[in-house]
Structure 1
């Protein structure tokens, strides 16, 4: 009888112990500074040589080392081009972009990376990034709307950005 009452407690402790590494892995997936020699994961260009918002993402990997490898992009447009590929989209775990309401366009500040999935984007503005048109990224919709009023473009939520938006 004693075994029947302690077995569920043992299983509960085992489940809690097994869940901790996943939580720690998620905590490790944070944005990092863009270094002067970092290359864009999509196009290979030196990221620091260009103005406009940058992006970083993590993909689910087979090993822990692969899961903790960050992929950096010279522009939000390049990040979306990579992310929107169905093979990549299903494996992405975290995405970060610069909050351009707090960061100068010519030299984005890496202290202001935000979660891209909750960010607002302005597509089609007069501002350009690494390879021409890019999507300005903002933490608040109001900041994105003010940017669009000043520089043109359309305000979009993360889920609204698709290949058609990138082709415009």
Structure 2
């Protein structure tokens, strides 16, 4: 009888201990303020020393977030085959509501829902970068004034990022899937 009692007392603890792991996996993470000394996860440059939209990402099994000096560096990390399946959350600046030269940490949006303009004339930390927007209308307005072409998160590939150094005119941009 004592053996059964011990077993019954252990079962709730075993069940509860398993709950904590699931809870950690579904936890929604947020973008955080970037300190003035924060370094880019990819290139090591000081993030706040450069203009243009920045990026942040969370990866499975890593407590803190990874911060990037540009959307281009963030995507270079995310689309790398070693990393692409581990990304849980990603954030970029909404450039329709924050200045290009000093993006505001309050202007982060979900990177997977954003619209990106590639092939425009504005520069980021490493030269050409992806201008990020929360709406198609804002991205289209940016294209009208600065040039480029609109892409969605899932359309950004390593080949597209590599070709950005040579892009400036819409006719030279790779075609997107409609």
The whole-number CA distance in structure 1 between the counterparts of 2:87 and 2:55 is: 13
Given the two structures, how large is their TM-score scaled by the length of structure 1? 0.83
* 1:89 correspondence with 2:84: yes
Q: Which blocks of at least 5 consecutive residues in structure 2 are unaligned? A: 1-10, 164-178
3-state SS in 1 of match to 2:91: strand
How many residues are paired up?
A: 151
1:1-150 matches, cutoff 5 A: 18-19=18-19, 22-23=22-23, 26-27=26-27, 29-61=29-61, 66=62, 68-150=63-145
Report deviation, 1:18: 4.8
Report deviation, 1:133: 0.1
Report deviation, 1:69: 1.3
CA offset digits 1:99-131 (Å, max 9, x no partner)? 111110011011011110010000011011001
CA offset digits 1:24-64 (Å, max 9, x no partner)? 55445111001100000000000000010000001101xxx
The whole-number CA distance in structure 2 between the counterparts of 1:24 and 1:88 is: 20
Given the two structures, how large is their TM-score scaled by the length of structure 2? 0.78
Report deviation, 1:19: 4.8
Q: Greater helix percent: which structure?
A: 1
Q: Which blocks of at least 5 consecutive residues in structure 1 are unaligned? A: 1-9
> Which runs of 4 or more aligned residues in structure 1 lie more than 2 Å from their structure 2 counterparts after TM superposition?
17-28
